[in-house]
Structure 1
């Protein structure tokens, strides 16, 4: 007999906050400032402060959770592609000549808050794994 585990709202919120904290840490390592972090993840200043502290969890909506997932997946891809930590953490802050970026800095683009730009940036980063760039 299989017993279904109950997932309380507070348990889900705790897991979401762990993901949020990880995404904030990655963005900080990419040298994103507070405003950029808020724009990329579409979170308020209060939510960002909660993520950086030990305060109680905030409720995150589906859009925010998807953004967190994309940032974490992008980071995981870069850790796979690049051996040098300077590239893992520096890639997003450097001008890029890929046709999508057209000499612009990826972090600047995703900081505008567009989900489409965030997704396309992830697609471009993910294509590095297959040598398609």
Structure 2
């Protein structure tokens, strides 16, 4: 799984639709590793349409907007940081659901923070993990 996400990031520059498809493939691989349900996936992507999510899962991507690419970028960074900080795959993937006493989480899980709906929440989790990495 980790290799798939990293391979998706390493692909050469392609037209916009292809970039979106590559980013979404990486996102859905991470969603599988994190056991995200559709509601969580939609929230992380900032989607309101279940049919759009289903189309994207089926590989039907015409183009995704900048906001969605930004969200996916944060998620990829969070995934990568977790696997650096917690080299045991299952522990890294389970971390997002664990209650966290760090002030930015207030006893809630990182997933609770990330699915609050704002792209800024993804950024905050990413910054927190990057700071933990040093």
User: Under a length normalisation based on structure 1, what TM-score does the superposition of the two structures give?
Assistant: 0.82
Q: CA deviation at 1:47?
A: 2.6
- Structure 2 match to 1:84: 88
How far apart are the structure 2 equivalents of 1:108 and 1:32?
12
Task: Indicate the structure whose relative CO is greater, using CA pairs within 8 Å and at least 6 residues apart.
Answer: 1
1:126 matched to 2:130: yes
**Structure 1: gaps (5+ residues):** 1-6
Poorly superposed stretches of 4+, deviation over 6 Å: none
- Structure 1 match to 2:108: 104
1:33-77 CA distance string (max 9 Å, x none): 1011101111332232123224x3132111111001000111111
When the two chains are superposed, the root-mean-square deviation of aligned CA atoms in Å is: 1.7
1:49 matched to 2:54: yes
Do the aligned residues in 2 keep the contact of 1:31 with 1:93 (CA within 8 Å)? Answer: no
How far apart are the structure 2 equivalents of 1:75 and 1:51?
20
* Larger-gyration structure (1/2): 1
SS in 2 for 1:49: helix
